[in-house]
Amino acid sequence: MFQVLTVSCKIEVSPQQVEKLDAVLRAFASCCEYVNKNTDPKLTNQIAVQSLIYREAREYSGLSAQMTIHAIRRVCANRKTAKQQNRPVKGFAPTSATYDARTFTFIEKDWKVSLTMLKGRENFSLHIGNYQCRLLTGINPKSAVLVQRKDGSYYLQIQWKSEPPQPEKMSKVLGIDLGRKDICVTSEGEKFSGKQITQIRDKYTRVRASLQQKASKGTRSTRRRARQILQRLSGRERRFQAQVNHRVSYRLIQHTKTTNQSIALEDLTGIKEGINQQPRPKIERRRSNSWTFYQFRQFMTYKAVKFGVNLVFVNPRYTSQTCYKCLHIHPVRGKSYRSGKRFSCGHCGWIGDADENGAKNISVLGLLLDQPGGSGLACSLEEHVLGLLKSHCSA
């Protein structure tokens, strides 16, 4: 099993090289536009599109053979994505171009890269730090993507295949309960508080509401300036969320790798649709829907593969309502022993943090999936939950 890793490296360019890079990016975008306009929009097979328009597209754009093929490949990929989202392909901006082993070479000795331009090759020095150097040492990358950012700088996203360590099934599983007040709580009782994060997100919301009002009711220059700030604010909030998810997921993966544990995570697919059907205040709906739990799941998944940690997903149903001590659920349908962050079992009397209780149940179910036929407690909980589901369905 191979994993594709990517590292973003800034490249140093001279004024003459800027013109060459801009020409390549414009040619790549125009080639994509040409292919998209002159072939059937429903056609998504790369080989079929390539056989129809390869020669014309290469002559029209002036790209090399390989870059023309990559432009056709990008058009087909965008069409597939647009088809899934039930929308047309909007267009192609001259901000990126794809390279492969025939058009891109990494020179580790001098920390340079060689890229194919419209006419010949060009060498560029990498402006990188110790982190990028450590990742690129001793590898032979076969592909890269040239990107021009909004500030006019140029970056090369270098990609290579890595064979990660094979994950082993452990005797212990760390359960993780996701939430809003606490980003996540582990079955060991460790909490990643979301209080400060909620305050920052609420601040973004207040600023956004003020700017949206100015963007609709102010003068022409005020409206234009407000829209620019709104766009910048949106990018800043996305980067903030990604940073938090990266930091928390990395810490959890490193902890489980050090302590020889697997990880059990809630499968929250479709959770927002179910929650939004419940009557709630507008502010609570916004707070629940604005955090990127799917992004957190993606970060956990690829980091687990990278570091050889086994990751399983469990059904979260009834994990927050079941007492992990006695496996009891409130006998009255619609009621629960959980109240906010507090769980008070009416059967055995256990009182504690509700999210930690849910994480412990997730840990038990994760052990059942990670090691089928494992602990009797896992089997008991699974049978108990299934029995309750059947009784509730028949009620």
Per-residue pLDDT tens for 202-257?
787 888 888 888 888 878 888 888 888 888 887 787 888 888 889 999 999 999 99
The string of DSSP codes covering 173-193 is EEEEEE-SSEEEEETTS-EEE
Distance separating alpha carbons of residues 60 and 34, to the nearest angstrom? 8
- Where residue 394 falls among pLDDT bands split at 50, 70, 90? very low
- Residue-level pLDDT at 383: 54
Question: Of 275, 295, 296, whose CA–CA distance to 286 is shortest?
Answer: 275
- Residue-level pLDDT at 375: 46
Over pLDDT 90: what percentage of the chain?
A: 45
- Which segment of 80-89, 159-168, 186-195, 285-294 scores lowest on mean pLDDT? 285-294
Over pLDDT 70: what percentage of the chain?
A: 88
More confident residue, 7 or 288: 7
More confident residue, 313 or 280: 313
Q: For the chain, which residues make up each domain, given as ranges?
A: 3-162, 173-192+252-394
- Residue-level pLDDT at 100: 95
- Residue-level pLDDT at 71: 97
For residues 58-73, give the mean pLDDT: 96
- The number of residues in the chain equals 395
More confident residue, 172 or 31: 31
- Which segment of 163-172, 188-197, 383-392 scores lowest on mean pLDDT? 383-392
User: Which tokens go with 71?
Assistant: 């432009």
